[in-house]
Structure 1
Amino acid sequence: MLRKFNARLLQLSNNAACTQLVSKLPLCTSAPIEDANKKVVSKAMKAYLERAKEHDEFMAQKNLEFQIGKRHLANMMGENPETFTQEDVDNAISYLFPSGLFEKKARPLMKPPEEVFPQRKAAEFDLMGRPHHFLFYTGKPNFYKLLYDIVERVNECNRYEDAMNRKSIQRDPNLVLEMSGYQWLDKDALEKQCVEGINDKEYNNFKDAMERLTKLPYSYKVKDFIMEYSRPLMMQTKTHDVPELQYDKDGKAFITTYECLRKRARADVTVSSPGTGKITINGEGINYFDDIHCREQLLFPLIFTNLHKNVDVVANVEGGGPAGQAGAIRWGIAWSLRSFVDQEIVEKMRIAGLLTRDYRIRERKKPGQAGARKKFTWKKR
């Protein structure tokens, strides 16, 4: 019936007398006509926009509170609020609120909201709810997109190498990507960059893929991409100059390191070369330590630098126990060996932790407790 009625109206419209009347009557339809240009926003996008709006309002409020608190803190310290930096804030907090808590996370702090609250991921789908790329369904699209980009760079370098081989063009030996002074982003930094949680296995896959990329002959073609996920090492030798070798009357080179600390132990260590690997501790040999673990601590820096048969070690140590004395001598040996090796070995020693002094001490007893962590026995009655 609806079709017949519309057809009858069209027939009447041919009549000149009814043209004006029919033009004012709309055709009957079973549903309202929708605008074709109107875009329908998906429920997922609506929910994301609401959450993003709430998050932005929350961060704006926290930023305002942080700025007010920083201004009050600057006035308390008698400083100019306009030039009060984050370092000044940390110093003021430690001065006004001294804390004896051993755990640093439990101490009072005042940081910008961007460093305290986790960053939110941007929308990964359009207004219709369609994902921007297929990796959306992996659960960790940003991380797997990174692995995908690494593979693309590997293929790009391989294609370029094949093209050079077809043209019989030799690779320029001067154009080599040098990564000895860099290291990959650590797991926490990579998680912040991807805004996703990454487990140890996935992080190892990331490092393996980047190592494979850097070992390619033409990896320097994608240097910008590689440097984006690496950071330079803090050179220990920039802040601590390597001492020059000294020579005795027989022409034997030696280096003496004083104030070797570990717990309550204090030692001074002398390393001389050439030698036969002889180790003397307080006039005794390596058997000065009964524990095999302490002996391994002494030998580790010598074996690491492959000088265990080329130098002699003389150490004087006092105070502390066997573990503390072994740690003090080990640090003195490693610190002295810097003068006998090249810069690359020194950097590897620093990465291995041989040049880092261990400042750990005994944790103090807490009031109301039997010890640093031990508690008194609690009885209900």
Structure 2
Amino acid sequence: MASSTLTFVRGRCCRLLVYSQSRISILSCLKFQSTSVTGDSSTDLKLIDSPVKIQQKAEKISKAMMAYLEKTRKYDAMMAEEISQYEIGRRHLANIMGTDPETFSQDDIDKAIAYLFPSGLYAKAARPLMKHPYEIFPKKKMAQFGADGRPFHHLFYTTKQNYYSLMHNIAWKVEELKKEEDRSYQRGGVFRNPPILNLKGSSWIDLETLKAQVLEKINEHEHRRFVLLMEHLVAQPFSYKEKDFIMKYRKEYESQLSQFYFPEIETTENGKQFCISTGKRKKAEATLTLWIEGSGKIEINGQDLSFFQSTKERNQLLFPLQFLQKIGKVDFKAEVNGGGTSGQAGAIRLALSRALASFMDESTVEKMRLAGLLTRDLRRKERKKPGQPRARKKKTWKKR
């Protein structure tokens, strides 16, 4: 009896082996259980799943994999065609502009498109463009399951495995930082404040950037949950140890200081630092020399601050020194010509602000920019219009 049972099982295994060669290998899916038969020393082997169920499962998995492979093949063929068309268009565009196609970059393409196809449309998405296909078409995910139908990722059935995997990773990092805090307290007995992670000048990535990173559809609520969890991670005392991970999800502000002019710092024979700057306001032009270490001496066209009779012009001139708390600590000499008193005071103020900014750090210069000290005042008197007493004033209209 035992031998016949064993022969039957072996025959079944042989038939499954022949089937696996025609489809896919499913021998790993076979599960046997051994049971001891009372009254006999032999072992009876039984198959858990019937061959019919295993065959149906294998055919279903095979169709899913075939469908995925077919989609992948079509996508790769489409991208290859788009890339070839892009390269042809790039070379034609380089020939039109009279440049070398081998060194024709994406910036050159954008400038050529803007030159050849000018558009008055306000929406950038509606304007003509020419980008690499990988920048236009969305990325595709790789296969999420194997030939046996089992998903690779343990969070596959959440339907957003990349997003929840990221959240899971952040939560574990928070726990590790808490353990590090406990270990630090146990070693020293007294908790010492670790270095502070400086995140100034950057912000958390927006919803669209997060979607592009996880390649999944994320809504506003899930983005807020992500930001809150990252804020919790940053709030940990030892968060500086995860700086590289945190900065992956931070976006730095675009610096606007590069568009401003700052004079170079020079040094006298006595080792005293100074710089020479210029400023304009209306028709007035000023040239100013600033010594960063001084006693508060001010000279304007050979005179002191009494060069301006009005208190308004004096306050406007001294505002940069008052803003930086440098009154009585620096010396400057200014030569101004053209325009009236208001324009001359504005020109000296701009030159003084530029000279002071050369000696300040980046954070202080940013505060000066926000206060409007580094921006030239382009306002001027509006011209008189024909048929009117002044620029905007009209003649009195009488009905009768």
How far has the Cα of 1:128 moved from its partner? 1.9
Offset at residue 274 of structure 1 (A): 8.6
1:138 matched to 2:120: no
Deviations 1:36-88 (A, max 9, x none): 79145544333222211211111111001100111111111111111110111
Q: Distance in 2 between matches of 1:127 and 1:69?
A: 41
Code of the aligned partner of 2:238: Y
- State the distance in 1 between where 2:369 and 2:224 align: 22
- Alignment of 1:99 with 2:119, yes or no, is yes
Residues 224/171 of structure 1: CA separation in 2 closer, same or farther (3 Å cut)? farther
In structure 1, C-alpha distance between the alignment counterparts of 2:318 and 2:80, rounded to whole Å: 59
Deviates more, 1:175-184 or 1:203-212: 175-184
SS in 2 for 1:111: coil
Q: 2:102 aligns with which of 79, 82, 85?
A: 82
Q: Determine if the alignment matches structure 1 residue 73 to structure 2 residue 90.
A: no
Residue matched to 2:216: 196
Distance 2:258 2:194 in 1: 26
Question: 1:213 pairs with 210, 227, 233, which one?
Answer: 233
Superposed CA offset, 1:167-190 (max 9, x none): 226666563322113322222221
Residue 228 of structure 1: how far off its partner (Å): 1.9
Where does residue 392 of structure 2 map in the other structure?
A: none
Shift, 1:31, TM fit: 8.7
Question: How far did 1:141 drift?
Answer: 1.6
Q: Please, which of 84, 109, 123 is the counterpart of residue 143 of structure 2?
A: 123
Checking the alignment, whether the CA contact within 8 Å between 1:45 and 1:128 is kept in structure 2 is no
- Contact between 2:94 and 2:100, CA under 8 Å: does it hold in 1? yes
Partners of 2:194 and 2:237 within 8 A in 1: no
Instruction: State the partner residue of 1:38.
Output: 25
Q: Contact conserved, 1:177 with 1:220, CA < 8 A, in 2?
A: yes
Q: Report deviation, 1:153.
A: 0.6
Give, in angstroms, the shift of residue 110 of structure 1. Answer: 0.6
* TM-score normalised by L of structure 2: 0.54
CA distance in 2, matches of 1:199, 1:94: 35
Which string of whole-angstrom CA distances, capped at 9 and with x for unpartnered residues, describes residues 201-246 of structure 1? 2222211211111121111222221122223333222442579999
CA distance in 2, matches of 1:66, 1:115: 12
8 Å Cα contact 1:99/1:107 also seen in 2: yes
Residue 83 of structure 2 aligns with which residue? 63
2:175 corresponds to: 155
Does residue 168 in structure 1 map to residue 188 in structure 2?
A: yes
Q: Percent identity?
A: 40
**54-63 or 127-136, which moves further after superposition?**
127-136
Aligned AA (1:208): L
* Higher Rg of the two aligned structures: 2
Change (3 A) 1:121 1:356: farther
Q: Is the CA contact 2:174–2:233 (under 8 Å) kept in the aligned structure 1?
A: yes
Alpha-carbon distance, 1:344 to partner: 4.1
Q: Which has the higher contact order (CA 8 A, sep 6+)?
A: 1
- Structure 1 residue 250, shift from structure 2 partner: 5.1
- Deviation, structure 1 residue 165: 1.5
**Deviates most, 116-125 or 164-173:** 164-173
| Cα deviation code 1:147-173 (max 9, x no counterpart) | 111111101101111122222266665
Paired residues, what number? 264
Match of residue 240 from structure 1 = 260
Q: Spell out, residue by residue over 1:126-150, the C-alpha distance to the aligned partner (whole angstroms, 9 max, x if none).
A: 2222222332222222112111111
User: Superposition pairs for residues 1-381 of structure 1, below 5 Å?
Assistant: 33-35=15-17, 38-39=25-26, 41-168=61-188, 173=193, 175-240=195-260, 249=304, 272=319, 343-344=362-363
* Structure 2 unaligned residues grouped into runs of 5+: 27-57, 264-276, 278-287, 291-297, 307-315, 324-341, 343-349, 377-400
Structure 1 length-normalised TM: 0.57
SS at match of 1:167: helix
Moved more, 97-106 or 39-48: 39-48
Residue 194 of structure 1 and its aligned partner are, at CA, apart by 0.9
